[in-house]
């Protein structure tokens, strides 16, 4: 393995948080929130999203990506986004995405993807803790001797559920068609397969009721095409086979959360004991109840109520 260095009239609305009991109120039920990176105007959207967390009390928050494709890949932007997440009122975990590094170029329009990926890891994953002013302690894959260059892959336990991030970019898992240019893909694929084996082994040993995996790419998405819309090698094939095999032999539920938004952003699509959930650029709430059959339930973290309806209720009073 190669070595890497680290048109109706608009109605005004009010945002109302969907409240729940404190995540520590019961050992059998709690919830967390997750969101995908915005396509544009990332800074303002993220600031508003983090400000909303002050109104709810999730066990933790997961952000899939820290920048959009169109934004700068500079150290300054990376550090600014890290500081934003560090000011969060809840533990915040970052999942690395395609937009964070894959399309980064220098002033000559030359790719600097690998250099930016290394720097991204140095800035965001420098220790064993999540971001936020009340961080969670994480176990990173980089702590082992075999895969010291993958700190972005991390896991943590909470109430009989194993949570873990796994780095798989949405653009065909960053498989490059041109021959001889897939060192990053091949090395990461080996690390990811090892990571999945380890996660399912840990969950089985601890008799965990479920596993939650968070990634940018969706390995279960049908059809793979490159930027020229030509069918190419499926960069998720091996990882999909691995996941299906592991999930089949695991007695609990497996929820795979990804950044490929779906038509219904709060619907978990189940196939046997394996479910998938696509994120959108706002918080999705995932409730966990160990006494229910599916364990996991997704819904909006906030609901929008038209101000006209609120005014009507006030008049009736």
Nearest-10 Cα torsion for 34, 39, 44, 46 = 20
Q: What are the pLDDT tens digits along the chain (317 aa)? A: 444 444 333 333 333 334 333 333 346 799 999 999 877 767 788 889 999 988 888 999 999 999 988 899 999 999 999 999 999 999 999 999 999 999 999 999 999 999 999 999 999 999 999 999 999 999 999 998 999 999 999 999 999 999 999 999 998 999 987 656 789 999 999 999 999 999 999 999 999 999 999 999 999 987 555 555 555 789 999 999 999 999 999 999 999 999 987 666 678 999 999 999 999 988 999 999 999 999 999 999 886 544 544 433 343 44
User: Could you read off the pLDDT of 11-70 as tens digits, one per residue?
Assistant: 333 333 343 333 333 467 999 999 998 777 677 888 899 999 888 889 999 999 999 888
The model carries a pTM of: 0.86
- In this structure, are residues 172 and 226 in contact, taking their beta carbons and an 8 Å threshold? yes
Beta strands in the chain (DSSP E): 13-17, 29-36, 61-64, 92-95, 139-140, 154-158, 161-165, 210-214, 253-258, 269-271, 274-278, 284-289, 296-300, 302-306
Collect all residues with Cβ–Cβ distance below 8 Å to 268 and sequence separation of at least 6. 255, 275, 276, 277, 294, 296, 297, 298
Which secondary structure element, helix H or strand E, spans residue 310, and what is its range? helix 307-316
Name the packing angle between helices 75-86 and 113-124 (round to 10°). Answer: 30
| Each residue's pLDDT tens digit, 262-277 | 666 678 999 999 999 9
What three-state secondary structure class fits 309? helix
Tokens of residue 120, six digits: 């991204």
d(CA 135, CA 86): 9
């Amino acid at each position: 393995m190669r070595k890497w260095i680290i048109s109706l009239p608009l109605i005004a609305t009010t945002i109302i948080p969907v409240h729940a009991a404190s995540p520590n109120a019961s050992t059998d039920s709690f919830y967390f929130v997750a969101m995908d990176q915005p396509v544009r105007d990332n800074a303002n959207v993220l600031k508003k999203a983090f400000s909303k967390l002050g109104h709810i009390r999730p066990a933790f928050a997961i952000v899939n990506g820290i920048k959009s494709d169109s934004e700068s890949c500079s150290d300054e932007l990376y550090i600014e986004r890290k500081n934003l997440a560090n000011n969060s009122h809840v533990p915040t975990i970052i999942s690395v995405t395609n937009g964070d590094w894959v399309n980064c170029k220098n002033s000559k329009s030359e790719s600097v993807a690998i250099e930016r990926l290394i720097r991204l890891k140095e800035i965001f994953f420098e220790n064993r803790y999540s971001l936020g002013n009340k961080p969670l302690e994480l176990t990173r894959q980089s702590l082992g001797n075999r895969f010291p260059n993958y700190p972005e892959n991390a896991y943590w336990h909470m109430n009989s559920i194993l949570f873990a991030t796994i780095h798989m970019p949405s653009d065909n898992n960053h498989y490059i068609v041109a021959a001889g240019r897939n060192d990053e893909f091949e090395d990461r694929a080996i690390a990811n397969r090892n990571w999945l084996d380890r996660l399912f082994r840990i969950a089985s040993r601890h008799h965990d009721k479920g596993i939650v995996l968070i990634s940018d790419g969706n390995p279960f998405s049908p059809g793979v095409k490159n930027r020229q819309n030509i069918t190419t090698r499926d960069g998720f094939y091996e990882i999909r086979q691995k996941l299906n095999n592991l999930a089949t032999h695991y007695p609990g539920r497996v929820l795979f959360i990804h950044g490929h938004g779906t038509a219904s952003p709060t619907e978990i699509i189940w196939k046997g004991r394996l479910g998938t959930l696509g994120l959108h650029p706002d918080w999705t709430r995932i409730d966990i109840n160990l006494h229910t059959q599916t364990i996991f339930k997704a819904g909006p973290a906030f609901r929008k109520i038209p101000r006209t309806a609120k005014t009507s209720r006030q008049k009736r009073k």
